[in-house]
Amino acid sequence: MHNLGQTRSSHQRHHLLLTPDTFVRTTLPGMKNASAIVHIGPALGAAFTEYTAEFEPQGELGTTVAQRFVYVIEGAVTLETKDKRHDLGARGYAYLSEGFSHRVVAKEKSRVAVIEKPYERLGKSEMKHLLIQSEDAVPSHGLDGDSDLQVKCLLPDDPRFDFAMNTMVYQPGAALSMVEMHVMEHGLLMLEGGGIYRLGDSWYAVTAGDFIWMGPWCPQWFGAIGKAPAKYLIYKDCNRHPLAGTPPAGTPR
Ligand code: UGY
Ligand code: MN
> Could you give the CA distance from residue 122 to residue 67 in angstroms, rounded to a whole number?
14
Residue of the CA atom closest to atom 9 of ligand 1: 220
Q: Which helix (H) or strand (E) holds 167?
A: strand 163-170
231 lines ligand 1 (CB under 6 A): no
236 lines ligand 1 (CB under 6 A): yes
The two beta strands, 92-96 and 85-88, are: unpaired
198 lines ligand 1 (CB under 6 A): no
> Could you give the CA distance from residue 21 to residue 32 in angstroms, rounded to a whole number?
24
DSSP-derived secondary structure letter, 180: B
pLDDT for position 253:
54
DSSP string, 65-128: SSEEEEEEEES-EEEEESS-EEEE-TTEEEEE-TT--EEEEESSSEEEEEEEE-----TT----
Q: Which ligand is nearest to the CA of 164?
A: 1
The pTM of this model reads: 0.96
What are the per-10-residue average pLDDT scores of the chain (253 residues)?
Answer: 92 98 97 98 98 98 97 98 96 97 97 98 89 98 97 97 98 98 98 98 98 98 97 98 80 60
Which is nearest to 246 in space by CA: 120, 116, 66? Answer: 120
